[in-house]
Chain A
Amino acid sequence: MISGIPLSDVLLVSGGLFVIGLAGALLRRNAITIFLSIELMMNGANLALLGYGAALHSLEGQIVVFFVIAIAAAEASVGLAIFVALFRHTETIDVNEIHLLKW
């Protein structure tokens, strides 16, 4: 119970966000949309961290989420640079068309 919000609500929303992100990462074929889905999964994990941090009266959850957001920023910049370089080579970012390293 965090100031009137039961922890089960927080965990359910966090799990829902994670599953929606997983669905997007598995089903979509556009590399940018897959990347966005991964960001969504990270946000689901962040919500669970903050929920437990608030329930345990601890600030460490917020510290971990701070690190996750900073690493997500670094990851997004490198990933998008890869997509730009890939698009220059192959003229597409459809992951069905990019199969150089795939069997």
Chain B
Amino acid sequence: MTTTRLVFDAAAVVALLFAAVMVLHRHPAKSVLSLVVSFFALATCYVLLTAPFIAAIQVIVYAGAILVLFLFVIMLLNVQQEEHRGDPHPIQRVLSGAALLLFGAMLFGLLRSHGGAGLPSDSSPIPDPDDLAAIARLLFSDYLLPFEALSVLLLAALVGAFVLARREKAS
């Protein structure tokens, strides 16, 4: 077992652990904060998977911008923790638990039977992980149209969010 694998597994365990804390915690603000820890651990995993650019994006955009936006809305709405209600729809709960078990069993069965076998043999050169220019070249040549479409999408989301959250004038 190499050191890289050891570090990867440790970061992965931290990510999974805090993801579980996120799901189980009843207070939304604490859920967001544990998801931040989980995303930082995932960024460590991304670095070890030779994707430092995506790791930086993960920390800056995901943990830095998106989750702070969540935290901001939680503070704005002053969401308290979910109250324990006597009627939690037992059928709903049983069905979702069963769906989850089935899905998990299918997923892990698939991974066990496949496990990365059947990949083509590595003949292509390994891309240099520190070479940001290679990503930029790919982004601005083969993926130029999706990239520009993405900018339009972001603009549409900006305008949509503004229209949705605007307070209606009392006429």
Are B157 and A83 in contact (CB-based, < 8 A)?
Answer: no
B37 at the A interface (CB under 8 A): no
A65 to B15, CA, bound (A): 18
Please tell me if A98 contacts chain B, counting CB pairs below 8 Å.
Answer: no
User: Which residues on A sit within 8 Å (CB–CB) of B158?
Assistant: 77
- Tell me whether A5 and B126 are in contact in the complex, defined as CB-CB below 8 angstroms, given that A11-B115, A69-B57, A84-B165 are known contacts: no
Q: Are A63 and B77 in contact (CB under 8 A)?
A: no
Interface size on B, residues (CB 8 A): 82
CA–CA, A18 and B146, complex, Å: 26
**CB contact between B139 and one of A21, A39, A66, A69 (< 8 Å): that residue:** A66
Query: Are B49 and A2 neighbours in the complex by a CB distance under 8 Å?
Result: yes
Rounded to whole angstroms, the CA-CA distance of A87 and B74 in the bound complex is 11
Whether the Cβ atoms of A71 and B82 lie closer than 8 Å is no
Q: How far is the CB of A56 from chain B (nearest CB, A)?
A: 7
With contacts A59-B127, A78-B161 known, is A13 near B12, CB below 8 A?
Answer: yes
Of chain B, the residue at the smallest CB distance from A24 is: B23
Q: How many residues of A contact B (CB 8 A)?
A: 74
**Given A3-B48, A50-B46, also A15-B4 (CB < 8 A):** no
Q: How far is the CA of A50 from the CA of B139 in the complex (A)?
A: 16
Residues of A within 8 A of B79 (CB): 30, 32, 93
- Contact partner, B138, options A19, A60, A84, Cβ 8 Å: A60
For residue B157, give the distance in angstroms from its CB to the closest CB of chain A.
4
A57 x B125 contact (CB < 8 A): yes
Task: Report B's interface with A, CB cutoff 8 A.
Answer: 2-5, 8-9, 12, 15-16, 19-20, 22-23, 28, 31-32, 35, 38-39, 42, 45-46, 48-51, 53-54, 57-58, 61-62, 65-66, 69-70, 73-74, 76-77, 79, 82, 85, 89, 93, 96-97, 99-100, 103-104, 107-108, 111, 114-116, 119-120, 122, 124-127, 134-135, 138-139, 143, 146, 150, 153-154, 156-158, 160-162, 164-165, 167
